[in-house]
Amino acid sequence: MPVIGFTYPNGDKLLLSQLDSVDTRKMGITLPTLRALALQRDNNRPPSTTELIIGTCESYLKRKHNYFINPQDKAFALAGTMHHLKLEKHADENFICEEPFEGFGITGIPDLYDKNNKVLYDYKNTGSYKVSKALGMSFIMVDDPSGELYKKSGRWGKVGTPKRIKQWYVDPEKADPEDWTLQLNLYRLFLEESGYEVEKIYIQATVRDGGIMASRDRGISNNIYLIPVPMMSNESVKKYFIKKRDELLTALKTDNLPEMCSKEETWDGKKCEKYCDARSFCPYINSGEIGDVAS
């Protein structure tokens, strides 16, 4: 069922019907921002691509329950949406931009398709950890070009020897775009089913923590990366999404709780701790079973 309101930082609730009377200073967010966050889709719609990539249990609970959200938790999602809207304005007739598709009883909205070059793109605002993993960033230790020597012995060398630093490089063998690969390959199928050929797929990732030490320590030195996404076999893509589609639809029809989300879907339990909108009414979290996922 839908989002029915927002939670103030102190825990107080604000119903969507009361939105115009929001205490902006208390919430710390403007009314137009809250209105943007309040937009939602028909609860009886076909399953979406993004619903099927996350855990079936999470998607089921979010459809079955009315719930409040903390707008602070949606800051990056909102920034991503605004990012998409601004870029959409600059696409011309040579591109298909933010056009909804439906296939296999599943909906999806590819960000950008270049008709001339037959390339599918998706925009992501994401953290350096995921970008580093998607690129396959690796490093070797080399002598510091400055010629600096270690002043005391430690992990990387003995006192008086040349200081060693990480030299980062992209290792395609380690590149792992994870769920992005599934998402973009389904969008590829949507396009191909509509008569558009897709020869290449890329993620344009904007690094939201770019430029800080944590990002550089992961080998991420740019703020924007174009990351190639591998092509999956059509059969593998269909098998994954049709299975997830059927699981969600069956659970909704029979009103049976799906099994607990997997380690991958919950980021080893981290999503359950803070980031899942369904966490307050998830039986697995509240019974303590989720501890098994993180272990």
- Token readout for 24 is 């902006």
Q: What pLDDT sits at residue 294?
A: 46
Q: What pLDDT sits at residue 289?
A: 63
- Token readout for 252 is 């909704």
Q: Of the ranges 104-118, 146-160, 165-179, 186-200, which one carries the lowest mean pLDDT score?
A: 146-160
pLDDT in tens, 124-178: 999 999 999 999 999 999 999 999 999 999 887 899 999 999 999 999 999 999 9
CA 221 to chain centre: 21
Residues 6 or more apart from 283 whose CB is under 8 A from it?
A: 257, 289
Average pLDDT estimate for 51-80: 89
pLDDT in tens, 15-42: 999 999 999 999 999 999 899 888 888 8
Which residue has tokens 């949606």? 74
pTM of the model: 0.87
